[in-house]
Amino acid sequence: MEVTMAEHGETLPEHKLDTAALYDTLRQSKASVEEAVAKMLAIKKEARPKSQLRELATQILLNFVTLRQANGSILLEEDSVKAETERAKASVELATLQLQSLLYEKNHQIKAIKACKDLDTKYPDIELVPQEEFFRDAPAEIKDSLISKDSEQNLMLKRLNFEMYQRKELCKHRKKLEQRKKALQETVSHRKKFLSSLPSHLKSLKKASLPVQQQLGVSHMKKLKQQQLAELLPPPLYVIYSQLLTLKETFGENIDLELIGSVKDAQGIACQLANKSTGISTKSEDSNSGDVPDGEDEGQRSKRLKNSSRRENLDQSGIYEAHPLKIALHINDDVAVDSNSKELIVLEFEYLKKLNVVCVGVKDSEDPENNILCNLFSDDNGLELPRQSAKLMIGDCNSFQERRTSRPYKWAQHLAGIDFLPELAPLFKVSETSNDETARNAAILSSLSLYHQQNRVQTIVQRMRARIKARIKA
C-alpha cells in the first residue's frame, strides 16, 4: 500500500495524517494515566478500599501498552520517511554531478573561444580605410605597384602600405605641432612672468606719481576707493554723503569727508539686500504693561524703574544697532583755505537700521551734557525721535537715550532725505489762539523757512563753524 501511494505522489500526506493520529493517541493515553494516578492518590488519602486501586492500576497498564504500540508505530514511520529521504537525496546528488559536468564543459568551451580570438594572424586587426578612399587618396606609386600575383592579396598589401604612409605623415605633423606647442608655452611663460612682475611695477609707478598728485591736488586712488565704499552706504547716509561731496567739490567748502567702519559687514548687508528686496521692518510693542500703583510717589518711582529697565532691554535687543559704515565730516576753519587749515570739529553721521533715523555726534565726545550740536536750530535737542514709528518701537520711554552723544536731530533727517509729518499740525496752536489769516500765513512761511535752512548742508556747516568759533572766543 505504501509503494502504491508513493508512486502516485500521495505518500507524504498519508504519513502526515497517520503521524498526527498516533500523536493524538499518545496524548490521550498520557492524560488517562495522569488521571488514574490522581485518582489513586485521592483514594489513598481518603482510605478507600484497595479494590478500586486495582482497577486503576489495570487501566494504567493498558494505557502503557497503548503508549508502547503508538511509539513503535511512530518509530517505524520515521524509518520509512528516512528511507524515502535517502532515495530523494541520491537523485539530487546525481543532478548536482550532472550540473558540475555541464559547468566544466562550459568553461572549457569559453577558454577555447578566447584562445581562438587571441590567436595572432599574419595581418593583425588593422582598421584600414575603405577601398573607395584608398583609390581616391592613395599616391600613384602605391596604387600602381605590383607586390603579389594574387589580386586580393596585392590589394591588401597596397592598402597596408597606404596605411603606413598615412601614419608616417601623421608622425611628421605631430612633431611640427609639438614644436609649435613648445614655442607657445615659452611665450606664455614669458608673459606670465611679466604679468607676475606687473603689480610691483604698478606699485612703484603709483608711488612715483604720488608727488605729482599731491602737487596738483588730485588724489585719484583715494577718491576711487571712497566712491566704492559710498556704494555700500544705506540710502539716507548716501544722500548726506553726496550733498557734502557736492558742497566740497562745487562750492569749494573747506571740509573733508571720510567713510569709516567695517567694510566686510557692510558688504554682507548689501548681499542680503540684493538677495531679498524687503524693507526695514518695524515692530510695535505694547506700552501699557504692569500693575497700577496706589500712591503717586510709588507710581512715579515704579515708572522710572520700568523706563530704565526697558532702556536696558532695548539696548540688548539691538534697537540702537547702527549700520557698520559711518560718515566722518571734518569741518576746517574757513579763514585759511590751504591744506594746513585748522580742523575745528569732526562730526560722525550714523544710521540706525531698526529705527530708520540718522544720528549725528561729535567724534570722541563722551560728555552728553556739553553737546555742541544741541539746539543748533530751535527746539531740536536731539532727544525727541522725529518718527512716530520709532516712538512706537521704543514704547514707554519714547525719548532718545540722554547718555548717547549721537542723537537723531531733525536737521540730520532733512539732510538725509527722510521727510516726516509732524505729530501736530503747524497751524493748530495758531488756530486756537487767533483766527487771523495773516498769523496763519506767517506761521506757514516760518515753518517753510526753517525746513529750507535745515535742508541745506551749507547752512549746517556755517552754523557749526560759527558756534565753534564763538565757544573758542568765549
Which has the closest alpha carbon to 412: 368, 364, 448, 464?
Answer: 464
**Mean pLDDT highest for which of 30-44, 50-64, 97-111, 195-209?**
97-111
Which cell is 74 given?
511512530
Same domain? 179 vs 195? yes
Average pLDDT (93-100) is 93
What pLDDT score does 459 carry?
A: 86
Q: What is the dihedral of CA 29, 31, 35, 40, to 10 degrees?
A: 50
Q: Which of 194, 218, 242 is the last residue of a domain?
A: 218
Domain membership flag for residue 328: yes
How confident is residue 195, by pLDDT bands cut at 50, 70 and 90?
A: very high
How confident is residue 436, by pLDDT bands cut at 50, 70 and 90?
A: low
Percent of the chain surpassing pLDDT 70: 74
Count the Cβ atoms, other than its own, within 10 Å of residue 74.
16
Domain membership flag for residue 401: yes
**Mean pLDDT highest for which of 61-75, 189-203, 222-236, 372-386?**
189-203
Q: Which residues pair with 256 in a beta bridge?
A: 330
What single-letter DSSP state applies at residue 384? Answer: B
Q: Is it the case that residue 216 has pLDDT exceeding 70?
A: no
How confident is residue 31, by pLDDT bands cut at 50, 70 and 90?
A: confident
| Cα separation, 291 vs 299, whole angstroms | 10
Domain membership flag for residue 7: yes
Write the CB contacts of 251 (distance below 8 Å, at least 6 apart in sequence): 458
What pLDDT score does 186 carry?
A: 94
Same domain? 213 vs 317? no
Q: Which of 371, 399, 419 is the last residue of a domain?
A: 419
DSSP structure string for 351-370:
EETTTTEEEEEETT---STT
Average pLDDT (289-317) is 47
Same domain? 278 vs 382? yes
pLDDT tens, residue by residue, 443-460: 555 666 666 666 688 888
Q: Is it the case that residue 347 has pLDDT exceeding 90?
A: yes
Which stretches of 217-358 are DSSP H helices? 220-230, 235-251, 263-275, 296-317
Could you tell me the CA-to-CA distances from 282 to 227, 285, 322, 351, 395 in Å, in that order?
30, 10, 15, 15, 12
Same domain? 204 vs 236? no
Which has the closest alpha carbon to 406: 376, 378, 355, 366?
Answer: 366
Contact at 8 Å (CB) between 253 and 461?
yes
Same domain? 279 vs 353? yes
Which range is least confidently modeled, 151-155, 158-162, 191-195, 374-378?
A: 151-155
What pLDDT score does 220 carry?
A: 65
Q: Which residues pair with 351 in a beta bridge?
A: 358
Could you tell me the CA-to-CA distances from 404 to 200, 324, 371, 382, 417 in Å, in that order?
47, 17, 10, 10, 23
Domain membership flag for residue 278: yes
| Grid cell 606699485 in the structure block, residue | 203
What pLDDT score does 192 carry?
A: 93
What pLDDT score does 280 carry?
A: 45
Q: Inter-axis angle of helices 457-473 and 437-454, to 10 degrees? A: 80
Mean pLDDT over all residues of the chain? Answer: 77
Same domain? 274 vs 406? yes
Same domain? 141 vs 243? no
pTM of the predicted model over 0.95: no
| Better-predicted residue by pLDDT, 82 or 47 | 82
Domain membership flag for residue 445: no
Same domain? 83 vs 132? no
What single-letter DSSP state applies at residue 150? Answer: S
The 10 Å CB-count burial string (b at 16+, else e) for 260-284 is ebeeeebeebeeeeeeeeeeeeeee
What pLDDT score does 233 carry?
A: 92
DSSP structure string for 35-61:
HHHHHHHHHHHHT--THHHHHHHHHHH
Alpha-carbon Rg for the chain, nearest whole angstrom, is 55
How confident is residue 404, by pLDDT bands cut at 50, 70 and 90?
A: confident
Total domain count, the chain: 3
Could you tell me the CA-to-CA distances from 283 to 146, 244, 413 in Å, in that order?
100, 33, 21
Same domain? 243 vs 392? yes
| Better-predicted residue by pLDDT, 309 or 392 | 392
pLDDT tens, residue by residue, 368-377: 666 788 888 8
Q: Is it the case that residue 282 has pLDDT exceeding 70?
A: no
Which cell is 216 given?
596738483
Average pLDDT (267-278) is 79
SS3 393: helix
Which stretches of 144-217 are DSSP H helices? 151-216
Q: Is it the case that residue 385 has pLDDT exceeding 90?
A: no
Count the Cβ atoms, other than its own, within 10 Å of residue 423.
10
Same domain? 311 vs 394? yes
What pLDDT score does 401 carry?
A: 74
How confident is residue 4, by pLDDT bands cut at 50, 70 and 90?
A: very low
Which has the closest alpha carbon to 1: 69, 14, 70, 81?
Answer: 14
Which range is least confidently modeled, 157-171, 282-296, 408-422?
A: 282-296
How confident is residue 177, by pLDDT bands cut at 50, 70 and 90?
A: very high
Average pLDDT (123-149) is 79
Q: Is it the case that residue 433 has pLDDT exceeding 80?
A: no
Same domain? 258 vs 300? yes
Sign of the CA dihedral running 64, 70, 73, 78: negative
Q: Which domain holds residue 38?
A: 2-93
Question: If you count them, how many residues does the chain have?
Answer: 474
Domain membership flag for residue 357: yes
AA identity, residue 463: R
Q: Which of 218, 238, 265 is the last residue of a domain?
A: 218
Same domain? 167 vs 296? no
Domain membership flag for residue 98: no
Write the CB contacts of 199 (distance below 8 Å, at least 6 apart in sequence): none
Which cell is 181 given?
606647442
